[in-house]
Structure 1
Amino acid sequence: MTLHRRRSAEDVKIATPTPPRGAQSAHPTSNSARTALVGTPLLIIGVALAAVNLRPAVTSLASLLEQVRGSVGASHAWASALTALPVVCFGAAGVLAPRLNRRFGIARAVGWALALLTTGLVIRVLDGPAVVLGGTLLACAGIALGNVLLPVVIKQSYPHRLGMVTGIYMGALSGGGAIGAALTPPLNSALGDWRLALGAWALLAVAAVVLWSAAARHADHVAAEAPKPRRSLLRNRLAWTVTIFFGLQALVAYVIMGWLPEMLVEAGVDRATAGLYLGICTLFGVPTGLLFPPLAVRMRSQSALISSLTAVGGLGLVGLLVAPAAAPLAWSLLAGVGMGVFSLAITVLALRTEDPADTAALSAMAQSLGYLIAACGPFLFGLLRGITGDWSASLVLVLAVTAAQTVVGWAAGRPRTV
Structure 2
Amino acid sequence: MSGPTRQRWHRRGGGAALGLLAIATLGVGLGFGRPDVALLGLPLAATAAVTLRRPAGTASTVVEVSAEDDAIVARVQVEGAAGVDFVIVSAGAYEEPPTTVVVSRRQAERLEARLPVLHSGPQEALRVGGQVFAAGGDLVQHLDPRVAHATIAPEQERVAALLLPHRLTNRPGAHPARRLGDGLDFRDLAPFTPGDRLRRIDWRATARSPRPDSELIVRRMDATSEAAAVIVLDSRDDVGSAVVEWGRDRPARKGVASLDLARPAVSAIAASYLEAGDRVAFHDLIRSGASARSGGGRRKLEQIRAVVTQTVPRPDGSPKPPVLPTAAVVYLVSTFLDEDVAALAVLWRSAGHRVVAIDVLPKPSLEGADEEHRLAHRVLQLERADRLERLRRVDVTVVPWQDADRDLLLRQAERDRRRR
Between structure 1 and structure 2, the one with the greater Rg is 2
TM-score scaled to structure 1, two decimals? 0.19
